[in-house]
Amino acid sequence: MTTKIYEALKWASLFLQRHGRDENVGEIALKHILDYNRTQLLTNMREDLKEEHLLQFQEMVQKHIEGEPIQYLIGYEYFYGRKFIVNNEVLIPRPETEELVEGVLERIHKLWDRTDHLELVDVGTGSGAIAISLALENPQLTVHTVDIAEESIEVAKQNALHLGANVNFLHNDLLNYFIDENKKVDIVVSNPPYIPHQDWLQLDEVVKEHEPYRALVGGEDGLDFYRRFATDLPKVLNHKALVAFEVGIGQGEPVATILRNTFNHAQVEVVFDINGKDRMVYMMK
């Protein structure tokens, strides 16, 4: 007895719903298995599924119900219109972070002429989503990116190669390389670990048990990395500079205060994301 695409999707939707998972995962999995876009999937709803595809689909849905993120199961996630390889050595890029990239591009345009050559460093690169997107969107940038985990850098390098981005990768801790080399930069961007440890304990197992702890948790209050940045930024920033951070919900003003205390005369702003959550903090001096 054959199973049609719409029947497989209906089964997955009910199964996922019953286990408190995102019903959309079935569609993501089947598009990947069949190599279809959404239009192709909708057009071929009454098509029979090959048995091998059905078994692969059922296994993938089951693994997700057991807690594995669908992005790790299919091996990629889209970010800023591009396909990024991901695995459990890197955080899965989130839509909110696309807003950080957009905010950085807008502020570069306001602060500098299009003919200016700018040095940018992305700290804690993970999959390379931020650094690679910025490098590809703005050719006036020389992009450096730092991560403490070599495993993450390997993933980011694959993405840069696959997407044709020219990025300089550094295996180091925060801004130490630039301080040691007495190297100045114009822009520092980071989506650092910012989840308080207690909050991490309450996270959904899909995140907590599969995405790397080192990329999620920023100490007891989640602000450890921002405090370290406050110490290091004055040593590496040029006279005219931009700093852009992603922050956790409720951290906008605390992070802005950390920056204001470090840069007395700078312009610091907290920006809310599309969902109305404080998500980005920018400092311009």
d(CA 16, CA 28): 13
Residues at the annotated binding site for S-adenosyl-L-methionine? Answer: 124-128, 147, 191
Q: How far apart are CA 65 and CA 201, in angstroms?
A: 20
What is d(CA 122, CA 130) in angstroms, rounded to the nearest whole number? 7
Largest interatomic CA distance in the chain: 72
Residues making up the binding site for substrate: 191-194
Please report, to the nearest 10 degrees, the dihedral formed by the alpha carbons of residues 90, 226, 137, 172 taken in order: -60
Residue 182 burial (CB < 10 Å; 0-12/13-18/19+)? exposed
In the annotated binding site, the residues are 124-128, 147, 191-194
* Cα separation, 212 vs 19, whole angstroms: 24
Alpha helices (runs of H) in 35-175, residue ranges in sequence order: 38-43, 51-65, 70-74, 95-111, 129-137, 150-163
Which residues partner with 118 through β-bridges? Answer: 141
Q: How far is CA 107 from CA 8, 79, 114, 266, in A?
A: 46, 20, 12, 14
